[in-house]
Amino acid sequence: MRFKTRTHAGQLLAGALTKILATKYQGMDAVIYALPRGGVPLGYQVASALNMPLDLIIPRKIGHPSNPEYAIGAITETGEIICNEQTIADVDPIWLEQQKEEEIIEAKRRRECYLGDREPSVVTGKLAILVDDGIATGLTMRAAIRDVKTRHPDKIIVAIPVMPEETAKMLATEVDEVIALLIDSNYQGSVGSYYQYFHQLCDDEVIRLINQLDSDNRPKPS
């Protein structure tokens, strides 16, 4: 299974969520949390289709010093780290502390850039739905889960187009439900492998989608 674009994957994910919410979570207020940048086009589609507020959770991946694309950990905006303990033990602790600081600074930059002084959505006692464009190791999503739990939702759903089978099993122990369009037992190694078109989003695209959703939801003059 391949997705045409993130927009296409978001539309399919919205359809899957609509069915689940109607049967298992009927009547619950919910907040959609997208992980930027890649998760925002999907979050936009899901929030639009379900008529729910869109907010951001901004964990940051920590890549291996010799291969930045290989995640050895992820950190929340508040500095809590989720990591591969064996791999982390092999890296220079001074380098690791520097990376943690750099990623926290970048997370804060993104929040200010994307949301400005907007107040965070209140999710206490509600359903939190975490959305991204795909998952590989699951470390970044686990950091997002850890972050959203501090906001005291009643239940948490992870909604993803594609992820490895082992990652899906791991995440299922940390949230109330994992919804995936494809759980691959022979994962192809990268999220982009499952998309026909998978470009690197820029800040302006994220801001445009957030502003567009605000505009769509703004009451029309009578």
Q: In this structure, are residues 155 and 127 in contact, taking their beta carbons and an 8 Å threshold?
A: yes
User: What's residue 218's pLDDT?
Assistant: 56
Rounded to two decimals, what is the model's pTM?
A: 0.94
d(CA 40, CA 131): 8
Q: Are 157 and 177 in contact (CB under 8 A)?
A: yes
Return d(Cα 89, Cα 87) in angstroms, integer. Answer: 5
Top-tier CATH class for 6-57+116-214: alpha beta
- Domain extents for the chain? 6-57+116-214
Give me the numbers of helices (H) and strands (E) for the chain, helices first please. 7, 8
Q: What is the C-alpha separation between 159 and 85, in angstroms, rounded?
A: 26
Predicted confidence pLDDT, tens digits, the chain (222 residues): 899 999 999 999 999 999 999 999 999 999 999 999 999 999 999 999 999 999 999 999 998 888 888 889 999 999 999 987 877 888 899 999 999 999 999 999 999 999 999 999 999 999 999 999 999 989 999 999 999 999 999 999 999 999 999 999 999 999 999 999 999 999 998 999 999 999 999 999 999 999 999 877 654 444
